[in-house]
Structure formats: C-alpha cells, structure tokens
C-alpha cells in the first residue's frame, strides 16, 4: 500500500511540474510575441507579418525570458544551444514535453514489468529517467550529424565562394549563390547568412549568429577571415582558397590518425562489451550463481569494483585513442 502511494505521489508531482512548466513557457512566449509585434508595428506597419516570420525562424527568445524568470541554470542555456545547433524545429517547451511523455511511458512500463527482484519504485525511477533521456539523445544525435555534415561541406563552400568573388561578385551575392548551389545543412546556413545581409543585418552580427548555429573551429576561421578583410583589406578569395586547402589537409591527417587508432578503438569495444556480454550470458545460463554472488556482501563489493574499473578503463582508452586534429 505504501509503495503504491509513493508511485502515485511521484506521478502526480511529475505531472504537476510538467504542466506548470508548459503553462509558464506559453505565457511568456505570448507576452514576448506581443512585445515584438508592437515594436514592429511602430517601425514598419506594412511589413509586420514578413518581419515576424523572419524572427520566428531565428532562435526563440521567449524561452530565454522564461529562463531569466526561473533561474540562471547553465543546463537550460545548454539545451537551447543544442536545439539551435541540431537544426530541429523543437522549442524548449516541446523538448520538455517530449521528455515528460517518454518518462511517463517508462514509468508505466516499470509498473507492469514482471521483474520482482527489483522494487517497483526502483524500476519506475530507472526506466522513467532512461526514457526521458531519449528525446535529448535524439537532439544530440541530430546535432552531431548536422555539424559533421557542415564540416564536410565547408571546403567546397569556401572554394565556391572564392571563385565567385574572383569572378567579380560581391560577398553578399556570393553567399547567396553558395547557399543556392550547396545542399543542406551548410547550404541552409549560407542562405540564412545571405538573407540576413539582404535584410540589413551587420556582417559581424550575422557571422556571430552563424558561429552560434554551427560552432565549428573552421567556421570561426572563416568568420575571422571575412571580418579581418573588411577591416584591413586584402584578397578575400585567396584567403578562402588557402583556408579550404588547410581544411582538406586536416581531413586527410584526421583520416590517417583514425586508421592508426582503429586498433585501439576496436580493443576498447571488445574489452568494454565482453564483460557485459558475459554477465548477461551468466544470467541466462546460471542465474542462481549470479544471484548468490549479488546477495553475498563480498560479492557486492566485487561487482561494484568491477563496474567502476570497467568505466575507468573505458575512459582511459577513449582518452588515448581520441586524438584531436
């Protein structure tokens, strides 16, 4: 009875917290939208709808206002940056809503799961946290895939941009041409950069927005080259061609490093997966042996030591084979 009461209280608190967060985000989003619309009405009454659409494609500021009202937690700002860099259309409230939905699914599975060796509250907490992480895992995966695609497309984009400028086109026109010819995801970023330029945004602010959306070292080099050329002059096309060659050479060096470190990564995979596979096989073949070891005080210490040693060993191997180029 007490266990059922604890689960019901946990579900109620979780639902109330999610509902309060959702209502708060909607309230502050509506308030921020009214403020933006009022400013646009006073500035350009005939172009309000178009300007609002442009602002809607930019990073949402309503959630930032909510963060300022709630707290200054770095984790919330980090989630905003991940959503922006992943290229997904989710807002912060949608991410929290999806996490709450998946957590509820995990809790339900924990309640109906017929595994009596673990208490029901333990199953609910563990599965709820694991399922709640799935939307965030999707965001991280999308972010990594998008940044990797941008990094692979950047040398071609820089060469195209350099040739266009050598042919006599202005930088803003060349950016638009690169955005039209280059596929997504980097093509979208260059199109957005060109649109911001056409709408009158300063080049430094537009480049800062590009760096925020695509936080790659090569993008920072590109932005620094453009800003330095605008301040001191010089042949920007030649600078971009050299930068493109440097990036390609770094890609070749990275491929050689990955080929040399492939043995270490395979070793880490085998050494990390073999104990887990052996443990699962023992649960199937001889469950009583593992149960007696888990019930013994010394056996518990051995299991904890093995898990800690396994995690530390994997971290050390990953640190050795992960060579930044």
* pLDDT tens per residue across all 325 residues of the chain: 456 666 666 666 666 766 766 666 676 667 666 655 544 443 343 333 333 333 344 444 444 444 454 445 567 788 888 998 998 888 888 998 999 999 999 888 888 877 666 677 777 888 888 999 999 999 999 999 999 999 999 999 999 999 998 888 888 889 989 989 989 899 999 999 988 888 888 888 999 999 999 999 899 999 998 988 888 877 888 999 999 999 999 888 888 888 888 887 888 888 888 888 888 788 777 777 777 777 788 888 888 888 888 888 888 887 887 777 6
CB atoms closer than 10 angstroms to residue 216:
17
Per-residue CA distances from 71 to 65, 89, 111 (Å): 10, 24, 34
Is the dihedral angle over the CA atoms 178, 179, 184, 188 positive or is it negative? positive
Written as six digits, the tokens of 248 are 């390609």
Long-range contacts of 316-319 (CB under 8 A, 24+ apart): 317/264, 317/267, 317/268, 317/271, 318/268
pLDDT given at position 264: 79
pLDDT given at position 148: 92
- 292 contact partners, CB below 8 Å, separation of at least 6: 299
Among 71, 110, 4, 96, CA closest to 12: 4
Measured between its terminal Cα atoms, the distance across the chain in Å is 58
3-class DSSP assignment, residue 185: coil
Written as six digits, the tokens of 224 are 């620094």
Q: Are 206 and 196 in contact (CB under 8 A)?
A: yes
pLDDT given at position 76: 78
Written as six digits, the tokens of 17 are 């917290």
pLDDT given at position 43: 38
Got the DSSP string for 48-74?
Answer: HHHHHHHHHHSPPSHHHHHHHHH---H
Where are the domains positioned within the chain?
Answer: 2-142, 147-232, 262-321
What letter does residue 325 receive in the DSSP assignment?
Answer: -
Q: Are 15 and 128 in contact (CB under 8 A)?
A: no
* pTM greater than 0.75 (yes/no): no
Among 240, 176, 230, CA closest to 204: 230
pLDDT given at position 13: 64
pLDDT given at position 11: 66
pLDDT given at position 5: 62
Rounded Cα gap, residues 159 and 178, in angstroms: 10
- 228 contact partners, CB below 8 Å, separation of at least 6: 234
């Amino acid at each position: 009875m007490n266990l059922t009461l604890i689960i019901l209280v946990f579900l109620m608190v979780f639902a109330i917290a999610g509902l309060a967060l959702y209502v708060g985000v909607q309230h502050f989003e509506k308030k921020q939208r009214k403020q933006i619309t009022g400013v646009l009405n006073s500035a350009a009454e005939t172009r309000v709808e178009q300007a609002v659409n442009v602002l809607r494609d930019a990073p949402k500021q309503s959630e930032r206002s909510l963060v300022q009202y709630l707290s200054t937690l770095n984790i919330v700002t980090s989630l905003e940056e991940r959503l922006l860099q992943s290229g997904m259309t989710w807002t912060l409230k949608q991410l929290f809503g999806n996490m709450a939905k998946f957590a509820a699914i995990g809790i339900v599975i924990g309640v109906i799961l017929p595994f009596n060796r673990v208490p029901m509250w333990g199953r609910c907490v563990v599965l709820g946290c694991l399922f709640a992480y799935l939307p965030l895992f999707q965001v991280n995966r999308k972010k990594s895939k998008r940044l990797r695609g941008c990094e692979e497309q950047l040398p071609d984009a820089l060469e195209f941009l350099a040739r266009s400028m050598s042919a006599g086109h202005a930088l803003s026109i060349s950016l638009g041409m690169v955005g039209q010819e280059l596929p997504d995801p980097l093509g979208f970023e260059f199109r957005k950069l060109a649109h911001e330029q056409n709408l009158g945004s300063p080049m430094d602010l537009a480049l800062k927005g590009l760096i925020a959306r695509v936080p790659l070292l090569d993008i920072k080099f590109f932005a620094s080259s453009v800003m330095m050329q605008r301040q001191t002059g010089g042949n920007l096309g030649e600078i971009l061609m050299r930068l493109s060659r440097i990036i390609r050479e770094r890609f070749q060096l990275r491929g050689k490093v990955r080929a040399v470190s492939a043995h270490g990564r395979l070793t880490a995979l085998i050494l990390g997966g073999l104990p887990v596979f052996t443990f699962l096989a023992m649960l199937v073949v001889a469950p009583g042996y593992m149960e007696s070891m888990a019930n013994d005080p010394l056996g518990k210490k051995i299991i904890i030591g093995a898990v800690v040693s396994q995690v530390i060993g994997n971290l050390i191997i990953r640190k050795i084979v992960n060579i930044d180029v």
